[in-house]
């Protein structure tokens, strides 16, 4: 379903000291003909997620990512009430639009309100806008027009229907999901037919919701966050085989499970936006022990494992600063002995049917 070129991790001996690492590996998604870099730029942090960025800092993050060879950039209206979209769009203005892949999401419409809160969940110091969920046909069209204006573009390469899952909507999820299928997706199909977007699909955090969405629609590309990692491999049962069979590309987000696979099982480690439970810390510790035995960093194993599945076109990673971003690139390039993967399988820490880097 995808043609990968030049992916053979190796060549970075000193991750902590790496200063000029480039990630140039490319995957051509056959269905959409889009060219994805193996690492994508995750735009949530510059929407002031769990902290604030200045305009200059946000621009520097995007520019450094470009200099590393990254050409896939993802954002969403929900990332700081459009702040991430605005910053990313303005930072990318100086680059050739034809050389990058740009995705955002639909499902939220932003309305100006001077008395709107300046904080929304983990997003801080955000614009005075009210975000309302809207999966209607007209709501999607409004959302796309708003995103185009914020990002200074006349088209997107990929659009995802965002957060039509239980984590976001709770008991109301079935109705929001129905609206996404019968109203939002036809709107995206219309935009695809008009050439406004090349690839359409869903961006959610739950495997069963994504599986149902893929079964029900003619999706091209989907973004699955946090569900296919060293700690969670349920998508191997049904979702990823179905995507591989139908040529549906998968962008993976949250491959560190929101923290614990980046930091290891340290005090205060995070798992899926909350404190990591004991069983997760224990499993992460066992994985880290095997990695250390071969002088390999745990997050390098996490990144490269996620990308190894043939349905995956890119691993989208967010970073808090330039140092983290540089380290992520080095981790992706770090050589990992084949014995690491064999030891993880022998210990039943990764599934037998999970593809591994060759």
pLDDT single digits (tens) 34-50: 999 999 999 999 999 99
Q: Which bin fits 238, alpha (ψ -120 to 50), beta or left (φ > 0)? A: alpha
The pLDDT, as a whole number, for residue 358 is 81
Sequence-separated (6 or more) residues with CB below 8 Å from residue 224: 203, 204, 205, 207, 210, 235, 239, 250, 251, 252, 253
Give me the active site residues, please. Answer: 79
- Long-range contacts, stretch 109-113, CB < 8 angstroms, 24+ apart: 109/77, 109/134, 109/139, 109/142, 109/143, 109/146, 110/77, 110/81, 110/82, 110/146
Q: Which pLDDT score, from 0 to 100, does residue 21 have?
A: 67
Given a cut of 80, whether residue 1 has pLDDT beyond it is: no
pLDDT at 208 over 90: yes
Position of tokens 């569900």?
A: 227
pTM of the predicted model over 0.85: yes
Per-residue pLDDT, 61? 98
Q: Is the pLDDT of residue 130 over 60?
A: yes
| Closest residue by Cα to residue 224 from 244, 237, 238, 209 | 209
In this prediction, residues 260-267 reach a mean pLDDT of 96
Q: 20 pLDDT band (50/70/90 cuts)?
A: low
> pLDDT tens for residues 71-117?
999 999 999 999 999 999 999 999 999 999 999 999 999 999 999 99
C-alpha span between 355 and 338 (Å, rounded): 12
Q: How far is CA 176 from the centre of its chain?
A: 22
Element (H, E) at 289: helix 278-293
pLDDT confidence band for 10 (50 / 70 / 90): very low
Mean pLDDT along residues 9-33: 66
**pLDDT for residue 200 is more than 70:** yes
Average pLDDT over residues 227-256: 97
What is the pLDDT, as a whole number, of residue 8? 44
Q: How confident is the model at residue 307 (pLDDT cuts 50, 70, 90)?
A: very high
For the chain, give the percent of residues with pLDDT over 70: 93
**pLDDT > 90? residue 3:** no
């Amino acid at each position: 379903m995808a043609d990968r070129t030049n992916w053979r991790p190796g060549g970075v001996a000193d991750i902590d000291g790496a200063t000029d690492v480039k990630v140039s590996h490319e995957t051509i998604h056959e269905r959409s003909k889009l060219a994805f870099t193996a690492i994508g730029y995750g735009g949530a942090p510059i929407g002031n997620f769990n902290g604030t960025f200045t305009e200059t800092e946000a621009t520097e993050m995007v520019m450094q990512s470009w200099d590393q060879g990254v050409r896939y950039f993802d954002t969403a209206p929900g990332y700081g009430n459009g702040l991430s979209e605005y910053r990313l769009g303005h930072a990318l203005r100086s680059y050739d639009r034809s050389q990058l892949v740009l995705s955002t999401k639909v499902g939220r419409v932003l309305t100006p309100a001077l008395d709107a809160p300046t904080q929304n969940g983990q997003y801080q110091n955000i614009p005075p806008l009210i975000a309302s969920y809207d999966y209607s046909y007209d709501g999607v069209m409004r959302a796309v027009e708003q995103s185009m204006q914020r990002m200074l573009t006349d088209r997107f390469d990929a659009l995802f229907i965002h957060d039509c899952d239980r984590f976001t909507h709770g008991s109301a999820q079935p109705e929001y999901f129905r609206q996404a299928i019968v109203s939002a997706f036809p709107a995206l199909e219309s935009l695809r037919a008009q050439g406004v977007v090349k690839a359409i699909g869903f961006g959610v955090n739950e495997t069963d919701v994504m599986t149902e969405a893929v079964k029900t629609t003619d999706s091209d590309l989907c973004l699955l966050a946090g569900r296919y990692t060293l700690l969670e491999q349920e998508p191997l049962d049904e979702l990823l085989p179905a995507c591989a069979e139908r040529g549906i590309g998968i962008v993976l987000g949250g491959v560190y499970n929101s923290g614990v696979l980046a930091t290891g099982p340290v005090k205060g480690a995070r798992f899926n936006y909350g404190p990591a439970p004991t069983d997760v810390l224990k499993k992460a510790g066992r994985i880290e022990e095997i990695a250390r035995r071969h002088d390999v960093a745990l997050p390098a194993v996490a990144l490269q494992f996620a990308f190894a599945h043939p349905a995956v076109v890119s691993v989208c990673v967010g970073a808090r600063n330039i140092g983290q971003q540089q380290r992520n690139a080095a981790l992706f390039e770090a050589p990992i002995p084949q014995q690491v993967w064999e030891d993880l399988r022998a210990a039943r820490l990764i599934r037998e049917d999970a593809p591994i880097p060759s």
